[in-house]
Structure 1
Amino acid sequence: MFSKIWTTKSTGVFSAQAEQLRQLLADADAVVLGAGAGLSTSAGFVYDGARFRQYFADFAVRYGFADMYSGGFYPYASLEEHWAYWSRYIYINRYQNAPKPVYNDLFRLVKDKDYFVLTTNVDHCFQKAGFDKKRLFYTQGDYGLFQCAEPCCPETFDNEALVRRMVEAQGYTIAPDGSLTVPEGVTLKMRIPAELVPRCPHCGRPLTMNLRADNTFVEDEGWHRAAGRYSDFLRRHEGQKILFLELGVGYNTPGIIKYPFWRMTAQNPQAFYVCINPGPAQLPPEIAPRALCIRKDIGAVVKEV
């Protein structure tokens, strides 16, 4: 594996970095976007603070957690409580639009290029912003899909209609623009009716989220088709001017995006690697001459470019 060096390029003038990225995009034969959680954070999908309190204040008081992630792992006493929490979580992070137009701005940046998106995000923001679904590979699942908890079959199930019913059963009204409101005098319920608990249509066991957490994750037919399209894209552009543009990727799962991007850049003398992340950035010295790390908010960089 590569040795690593702390990059010093992040201390450069931002406008010069933005101009360099603009030129790299213009010159590239193909662009591979690698997106992690930091991209959605830049777009306003934060899981704590005011946004958490807006939708989960009642859960926070009763159970004592202070962010959405903690609530997602809480051992609720019943499936009715579990899905009351998770239906709100899914709805606001999958079926509402991101608060900021970062994904839309990013689409305008690459829509005229030959691009492909590899992402560990599960919030569907790329497709909602207009990215071609045949150019997307969601490696870790999708908030919009259920799977059997066993699992008894390699299938996933769209959940939008049922999630909406779960949310409304708690007392919310869903407006035409997708926003949630609580009618005057209504106290939100923290459980759903038993008949709304999702169950596998084949075996009757409870359904769960199609999110990669362990070896029960279902890689369905759509997942495999997307993986094949990604492999085909890389094969078609082998040896060409490829820009590997990494956005908001940390070190939770670096083997999915970061390390492969480093490796493919090292193997292709025509390739260039760009990392945009406000946090500290590292680079293997082998690709440092063909790499740029911009330590800035992703939305600000995309807007500038």
Structure 2
Amino acid sequence: MYLKNRTLTYTKTCSPKEQIEKLKELLKTADAVLIGAGAGLSASAGLTYSGERFLKEFRGYKTRYGFSDMYSGSFYPFETPEEYWAYMSRFILVNRYDVPQLKVYQDLLEAVQDKDYFVLTTNVDHQFQLSGFSKRRLFYTQGDYGLFQCSVPCCQETYDNEPIILRMAAEQKDFKIPPELIPKCPVCARPMMMNLRSDGRFVEDSGWHKAFRRYEAYLKAHKNSACLFLELGVGNNTPGIIKYPFWQMTAENANTAYACVNLGEAFCPNEIADRALCINGDIGFVLQELKKIL
């Protein structure tokens, strides 16, 4: 319904300062703020999968296997499980465990902490909780780098992986982990996999369903509220999770507003343009400037 007529609302007619002032007013007048966060938010915070960060952490993999970014490496056809988990343990370590609190997330929390907020995110790097967002206000739809699941799966359970990931990363040699560290399901002994939504095997465990129910309750409670749908760094890989629902809910309630901050991908349909703010810019910069004027 909303794909044919895109418009860069405010982007061409307002200066960056005016746009950020407008965002401040939207936050100020909103009864509730529903944040929709995609990969662009973490990228703005510095969690990029290519370039200098890839070379710093995985230069040897580029030389040996030929791939040139972390994401491609996670799909590389390694010949053995020992090689696969040597790479994935390092990938998980640098993107989930060996990561400090990121300023972009802290600035976002400061902007909404006095509001009745909720976070819907496709990110799997745990940054919201690491930065102090309440777990009860977070629905992580696509999984978590910090969880394993059975690859079959034989059950709807997930398992914290930090201890074994740290061992894999510490004990690997020549791009391989010791065979005894290959993770296996404690129920059926088949191979484990990451709890990431990539196919029909994704496990929605009890924690996932509790978060989903909290999200449904939040939407129900604010069905007629002056809610701000704040979309940050959401691309077009999975628009049906955040982007399209945000557009639809904005269209259905005249009390709501929609704001999108995304470098190179800030747009909305004409149907909601009169209640939309699209900022084509770096999220970190926008939040930093917003922090100054709040």
TM bucket, shorter chain: over 0.9
Equivalent residue for 1:5? 6
Give matches, 1:201-212, under 5 Å. Answer: 201-212=186-197
2:34 match: secondary structure = strand
TM-score of the superposed pair, with normalisation by structure 1: 0.92
1:115 match: secondary structure = strand
Find the aligned partners of 1:8 and 1:228 in 2 and give their Cα distance.
Answer: 33
2:74 match: secondary structure = helix
Find the aligned partners of 1:199 and 1:294 in 2 and give their Cα distance.
Answer: 46
Equivalent residue for 1:199? 184
- CA apart distance, 1:238: 1.1
Find the aligned partners of 1:247 and 1:98 in 2 and give their Cα distance.
Answer: 20
Matched, 1:254 2:242: no
Q: Is the 8 A contact 2:33 2:116 kept in 1?
A: yes
Deviations 1:44-66 (A, max 9, x none): 00001111111111111111000
Deviations 1:39-95 (A, max 9, x none): 000000000111111111111111100000111001111111000000000011011
Percent identical among aligned pairs is 58
Deviations 1:10-37 (A, max 9, x none): 1221111111111111111100000000
Q: Is the 8 A contact 2:9 2:267 kept in 1?
A: no
Q: Is the 8 A contact 2:260 2:267 kept in 1?
A: no
Equivalent residue for 2:45? 43
Q: Where does structure 1 lack aligned partners over 5 or more consecutive residues?
A: 171-187
Matched, 1:237 2:239: no
- CA apart distance, 1:100: 4.5
Matched, 1:273 2:258: yes
Find the aligned partners of 1:92 and 1:219 in 2 and give their Cα distance.
Answer: 25
1:199 match: secondary structure = coil
Find the aligned partners of 1:154 and 1:9 in 2 and give their Cα distance.
Answer: 45
- CA apart distance, 1:98: 5.1
Q: Is the 8 A contact 1:43 1:99 kept in 2?
A: no
2:19 match: secondary structure = helix
Equivalent residue for 1:174? none
Task: Give, as a single letter, the amino acid of the residue that structure 2 aligns with 1:260.
Answer: P
Deviations 1:161-195 (A, max 9, x none): 1101111113xxxxxxxxxxxxxxxxx53110011
Equivalent residue for 2:77? 75
Equivalent residue for 2:61? 59
Deviations 1:133-187 (A, max 9, x none): 01101101100000000000000000011101111113xxxxxxxxxxxxxxxxx
Distance 1:100 1:220, change over 3 A: closer
Equivalent residue for 2:205? 220
Q: Is the 8 A contact 1:84 1:192 kept in 2?
A: yes
- CA apart distance, 1:282: 2.5
Equivalent residue for 1:283? 268
Q: Count how many residue pairs are aligned between Structure 1 and Structure 2.
A: 288
Equivalent residue for 1:154? 156
Give matches, 1:119-158, under 5 Å. Answer: 119-158=121-160
Equivalent residue for 2:92? 90
1:157 match: secondary structure = strand
Q: Is the 8 A contact 2:148 2:158 kept in 1?
A: yes
Q: Where does structure 2 lack aligned partners over 5 or more consecutive residues?
A: none
Equivalent residue for 1:177? none
Q: Is the 8 A contact 2:102 2:131 kept in 1?
A: no
Distance 1:286 1:263, change over 3 A: same
Q: Is the 8 A contact 1:120 1:139 kept in 2?
A: yes
Matched, 1:298 2:283: yes
Task: Give, as a single letter, the amino acid of the residue that structure 2 aligns with 1:93.
Answer: N
Find the aligned partners of 2:252 and 2:218 in 1 and give their Cα distance.
Answer: 16
What is the root-mean-square deviation in Å for CA atoms of aligned residues?
A: 1.1
Task: Give, as a single letter, the amino acid of the residue that structure 2 aligns with 1:94.
Answer: R
- CA apart distance, 1:97: 2.4
Find the aligned partners of 2:118 and 2:174 in 1 and give their Cα distance.
Answer: 42
Q: Is the 8 A contact 2:85 2:182 kept in 1?
A: yes
Find the aligned partners of 1:145 and 1:200 in 2 and give their Cα distance.
Answer: 12
Equivalent residue for 1:176? none
Equivalent residue for 1:112? 114
2:170 match: secondary structure = helix
Q: Is the 8 A contact 1:43 1:98 kept in 2?
A: no
Task: Give, as a single letter, the amino acid of the residue that structure 1 aligns with 2:11.
Answer: S
1:143 match: secondary structure = strand
Q: Is the 8 A contact 2:145 2:194 kept in 1?
A: yes
Shift >4 Å, 4+ stretches? none
2:96 match: secondary structure = helix
